[in-house]
Structure 1
Amino acid sequence: MHTKAPPFPPAILQGRHPSPLLEAYFELHQLKHLFRQGWLRVGIPRDTCESVAEHSFFVALLCLFLADGYFPEADATKLVRMALLHDVGEARAGDITPHDGVSREEKLRREREAVEHLFSRLPRGPDYLALWEEYEQGTSFEARLVRQVDRLEMGLQATVYEHQGAGDLSQFFTSVHRALETPELKALLAELETLRPGD
């Protein structure tokens, strides 16, 4: 797994017993350094490659804005919480892509093990785990919406990279098209396509 820096925590926590909140923070800090591996695979330079933390932050922002502007029936707080939690398992499991030769089941097992470990130490851990499971299983409108926004954000980032000279990233747009179900998000994607270089 390619990262900007080695995992934290080093010696700072050895022999100490910090509060679960501090321990969780230092473990999740890895998400700031964990590159989104798919971008590296297509040649995005490390100095401009987004991290998992950056991706999750923008998914959460998009969920907030979409709830307020497009989906008033959605629980905005739930959307944002789910978006912030949806990739936390990658702090331990890594950003596993379809090109890594790991089955969907194995990827899910690794991430579930990671989130169970992380959330087990936090006061509202069971609630966080339930939200993460709901997202993974797509059992609510909010979960299905966050899953779509996760892909839409990838299309937005691909557009940025194309304008920075990355070349044709149509393969990522193909994935976005497959994931989107709601007319509102499909319309946003259609508008986004017009902003790509050459359109």
Structure 2
Amino acid sequence: MASVSSATFSGHGARSLLQFLRLVGQLKRVPRTGWVYRNVQRPESVSDHMYRMAVMAMVIKDDRLNKDRCVRLALVHDMAECIVGDIAPADNIPKEEKHRREEEAMKQITQLLPEDLRKELYELWEEYETQSSAEAKFVKQLDQCEMILQASEYEDLEHKPGRLQDFYDSTADVSLFVFNCLDFSKKCDTTWALKEATEQEAVMKMPWMKTGGGSACL
């Protein structure tokens, strides 16, 4: 296996792969713009957001969906932001222009990969952008769900419930989110069951977290 791998990414190919990895590594240092605009301390990066989305996709329980494809879509959907940054609605950039910039960025990024991988990553990004599959539509829901989960965590950390309510209000089109054993169903308004759950209730449902005799810990 080692000889095949070294042959596949030898010489210029290996250097291009390293360039690709360094480029997407920039996502670790691109903050999520929405949190920056709301003066959140130590806002998450785009990479943080994509990672938890991928984990969410990995633990889904829906036989109608291709789980592996959902994970791949989650890992690719914001990849262009390593070049263009996280363009938020508050930036007032038209949707068409945002798409054009990200499309050019994805072409630039994937040019560093062998043809088969180049095609796979670009088509995954395009599938998400056009919402052309059930998996892409589901991952779009995960994108929204991860955002409000993060908003809830920031409110808890700052001890300011409701400070980020507009992030919840922006997810009116999200209908249902089933995350492993937790079921967060959308209500008639834009308040999520997650926000109403007590910390103890959440801990009790997480089998890897200890309860009793002090605060919960990993």
When the two structures are superposed, what TM-score results if normalisation uses the length of structure 1? Answer: 0.82
1:145 is matched with which residue? 138
Equivalent in 163, 167, 172 of residue 172 of structure 1 = 167
Structure 2 alignment gaps of length 5 or more: 1-11, 186-191, 200-218
Cα distance, 1:79 vs. partner? 0.4
Cα distance, 1:160 vs. partner? 0.3
2:52 aligned with 1:58, yes or no?
yes
Equivalent residues in 2 for 1:15-164 (5 A)?
19-45=15-41, 48-66=42-60, 69=61, 71-123=62-114, 124-164=117-157
Q: Would you say the 8 A contact 1:56–1:87 is kept in 2?
A: yes
Letter paired with 1:83: A
Letter paired with 1:105: E
Distance 1:176 1:25, change over 3 A: same
How many residue pairs get aligned? The number is 175
Q: Would you say the 8 A contact 1:159–1:195 is kept in 2?
A: no
Counterpart-to-counterpart distance in 1, 2:118 and 2:84: 18
The 3-state SS of whatever aligns with 1:35 is coil
Counterpart-to-counterpart distance in 2, 1:141 and 1:157: 24
Runs of 4+ in 1 over 6 A off after TM superposition: none
Q: Would you say the 8 A contact 1:43–1:166 is kept in 2?
A: no
Which of the two has greater helix per residue?
A: 1
Distance 1:196 1:132, change over 3 A: farther
Letter paired with 1:108: H
Q: Based on CA coordinates, which of the two structures has the bigger radius of gyration? A: 2
Cα distance, 1:19 vs. partner? 2.0
Distance 1:166 1:106, change over 3 A: farther
The 3-state SS of whatever aligns with 1:139 is coil
Distance 1:89 1:169, change over 3 A: same
The 3-state SS of whatever aligns with 1:177 is coil
The percent identity for this pair of structures is 33
Counterpart-to-counterpart distance in 1, 2:74 and 2:66: 12
Letter paired with 2:38: V
Counterpart-to-counterpart distance in 2, 1:174 and 1:194: 15
Cα distance, 1:176 vs. partner? 2.2
Counterpart-to-counterpart distance in 1, 2:138 and 2:43: 25
CA RMSD of aligned residues (A): 2.0
